[in-house]
Structure 1
Amino acid sequence: MRPLIVFSDMTLDGFMAGPDNDLDFMADDPQLTSELTGELMSVADTIIWGRKSFGPSAAYWTTTEGDLAAWLNTTPKFVLSSDKSFDVSAWENSTLAAGDGADQVRQFKESTGGGLVVFGGVQTVRSLVAADLVDEYWLKLNPAIVGRGGSMFSEVGERRKLTLNSARSYPSGTVALVYSTHTG
């Protein structure tokens, strides 16, 4: 079964987006970006986006250069959306996965291939976390507190045990944490 990886920035108080869906808390750290995304590119061969984050991401990454941009632009992408007419043609190698997102991801996990990585918005990640589909959390814990915002864990109904695989600190004050889940 293919692992599902959530790759996300997070504030110290547990939010992946600020009160107005803002992301300005994210620390710029080229060393972290290079190391962590390099590792991610070696294990994931499919990307999952949420509908709301797809458009802005496509607009940015299709006009950006570098190793990460090249990987994002050439790697197969599935966009989760309940809207069957949502247009994903703005970004090459993108396919609409219409219907129930959790069901779609279950099917992806059962297919052959490498890791699946979710670069989704809060709602997408939250729904996959709530459905207990995540195998690994690759979190960039930023040195910021926002007080309120979007949490990926707000709909988890029960305690879940995680195993810390790695923890690294960076010059920006950001800490990269990789956790795996226990499924039984």
Structure 2
Amino acid sequence: MRTITATMHVTLDGVVQGLARADEDTRGGFPHGGWGVRFHDEVLAREMGADLTAPGDMLLGRRTWQDFAQVWGRATDGNPYSARMNSTTKYVVSQSLKDVDDWQGSVLLHGDAVESVRKLKAEPGRNLGIVGSASLVRTLHAAGLIDRYTLLITPITLGCGARLFDGPAPATEFELVGCVPSTTGVIIARYVRR
């Protein structure tokens, strides 16, 4: 059985929306896009780079896949992150996409998100990593399918925006298995489901 790890940048008040760019996710009139950029440092790059070198495939929701396909799918910059994003298998959970041919290595998972991911998780294969895709994370968490979290807890509150666990989330206990502070105050916390 595969393991699913969700990696999420999250503010102190739980916001996960619009981390990287002003125009990344403006749903609901979100005015704080790009809030996470100034908190990047060498520690964060090193820790995320270590995760990047671990073998595995990606699991993405539609919006994140479309955004990543625009940013990474055309990247030819020699960056190891770009190479990894383009070479790994990307499973895309969507009921509205007709195909995912725009980005090499993408596989569309049709139908109900929980059932299609449950089936994929039960198949032999490499572990699965989710980056972003907050709606998918919430859905899979509620179904008990996420085994690990890497939370990049950023020392900022925004007061508005989509939160990691908007709405009801089932009672679930996790064990802290690693914690690294960055020089900018980001806490990189790794949890596994108990």
Moved more, 3-12 or 36-45: 36-45
For each residue in 1:123-156, what CA deviation from the matched residue of structure 2 results, as whole angstroms up to 9, or x when unmatched? Answer: 1111111111110001111121011221222244
Q: What is the TM-score with the length of structure 2 in the denominator?
A: 0.84
Contact 2:2 2:123 in 1 (8 A): yes
**Is residue 41–residue 182 contact of structure 2 (8 Å, CA) maintained in 1?**
no
Q: List gaps (5 residues or longer) in structure 1.
A: none
- 93, 110, 120: which one aligns with 1:80: 93
Say how many residue pairs are matched.
181
Where does residue 4 of structure 2 map in the other structure?
4
Aligned partner of 2:50 in structure 1 is 39
| 2-structure distance, mates of 1:23, 1:179 | 27
State the partner residue of 1:97.
109
8 Å Cα contact 1:126/1:155 also seen in 2: no
Q: Is contact 1:44-1:117 (8 Å) kept?
A: no
Aligned to 1:15: 15
Residue aligning to 1:24: 34
Q: Following the alignment from structure 1 to structure 2, what is the Cα–Cα distance between the partners of residues 163 and 153?
A: 18
Distance 1:39-1:124 versus aligned 2 partners, 3 A rule: same
Q: Which moved more, 1:126-135 or 1:152-161?
A: 152-161
Structure 1 counterpart of 2:146 = 134
Q: C-alpha displacement at 1:174, in angstroms? A: 1.0
Please tell me whether residue 57 in structure 1 is matched to residue 29 in structure 2. no
- Equivalent residue number for residue 123 of structure 2: 111
Matched ranges for 1:160-179 at <5 A: 160-179=172-191
Q: In the aligned structure 2, how far is the partner of 1:29 from the partner of 1:161? A: 29
Unaligned residue ranges in structure 2 (runs of 5+): 19-27
Structure 2 residue identity aligned to 1:40? D
Identity %: 26
Give 3-state SS (helix, strand or coil) of 1:34's partner.
helix
Q: Which residue of 1 aligns with 2:22?
A: none
Q: Tell me whether 173-182 or 155-164 shows the greater mean CA deviation.
A: 155-164
> Is residue 169–residue 176 contact of structure 1 (8 Å, CA) maintained in 2?
yes
Distance 1:59 1:84, change over 3 A: closer
Quick check: 2:178–2:191 contact (8 Å CA) kept in 1? yes
Aligned-partner SS, 1:154: coil
Q: Is the Cα contact below 8 Å between 1:21 and 1:150 reproduced in 2?
A: no
How big is the shift at 1:28? 4.0
Distance 1:178 1:130 in 2: 19
- Distance in 1 between residues matched to 2:31 and 2:65, nearest whole Å: 15
Equivalent residue number for residue 121 of structure 1:
133
Q: Which moved more, 1:148-157 or 1:1-10?
A: 148-157
The CA RMSD over aligned residues, in Å, is 1.9
